[in-house]
Amino acid sequence: MRTNKLYQELLADWNCPSCNRSKIDIVRTLGSGEQIGSAVEHHDHLCDYPNATMRELHGADWVKKIPQGLGEHLNRIEAFTKGFTKKVICEDCNNAETEAKKIVNADCFFSFSPFEIRSFLQIEKHRVHKIKHQEAINVFSKALLNFQLRLKLAQELFNRASDGEYWTLRR
């Protein structure tokens, strides 16, 4: 059986927080007969906004160019605007989330939470998830305003930081 490191580290009684399948239930058999089991760390992609924007503006080595304290401020933007905490989910849920984002034409920084993912899945043990398209659209519609508010805040804090307006932690 082929597995990844996160799958191997899962406790025996683990269940995916999105689809609620057990560690055993997420294993599936490929057409070749090989069995695979995989888990991934799912995070809110809005947390990637500060770093992605800095890379876009200042290149891959932007970290070497920033004033002292700005990196900490960017981390605070991430922490303040994230919609959910990181969770280990099965790879099938993560892949279904990617497909659902294509269906709804979501912004690259949008992410469905593990709970939201569950609501648009058709779940079977040992099978790739099928997406209920209308449910994905409904969930996205409900989550969109929340995302837009958080993105607008991240953009505002980032723009101010780019203009030199950011706070450092007092010692």
| Predicted pLDDT at 169 | 67
Mean pLDDT of 31-55: 94
Query: Tens digits of per-residue pLDDT, 62-78?
Result: 888 888 888 888 888 99
| Predicted pLDDT at 68 | 81
Query: Tens digits of per-residue pLDDT, 148-171?
Result: 999 999 999 888 887 888 777 667
Confidence of residue 55 (pLDDT cuts 50, 70, 90): confident
Burial of 156 (0-12, 13-18, 19+ CB in 10 A): exposed
- Is 15 a residue whose pLDDT tops 90? yes
| Predicted pLDDT at 14 | 98
DSSP the chain: -EE-HHHHHS-TT-B-TTT--BTTTT-EE-TTS-EEE-EEEE--GGGGHHHHHHHHHH-TTGGGGSPTTHHHHHHHHHHHH-SS--EEEEHHHHHHHHHHHHHTT--TT----HHHHHHTEE--TTSPPEE-HHHHHHHHHHHHHHHHHHHHHHHHHHHHHHTT-------
- Domain definitions of the chain by residue range: 40-162
| Predicted pLDDT at 71 | 84
Query: Tens digits of per-residue pLDDT, 116-152?
Result: 999 999 999 999 999 999 999 999 999 999 999 999 9
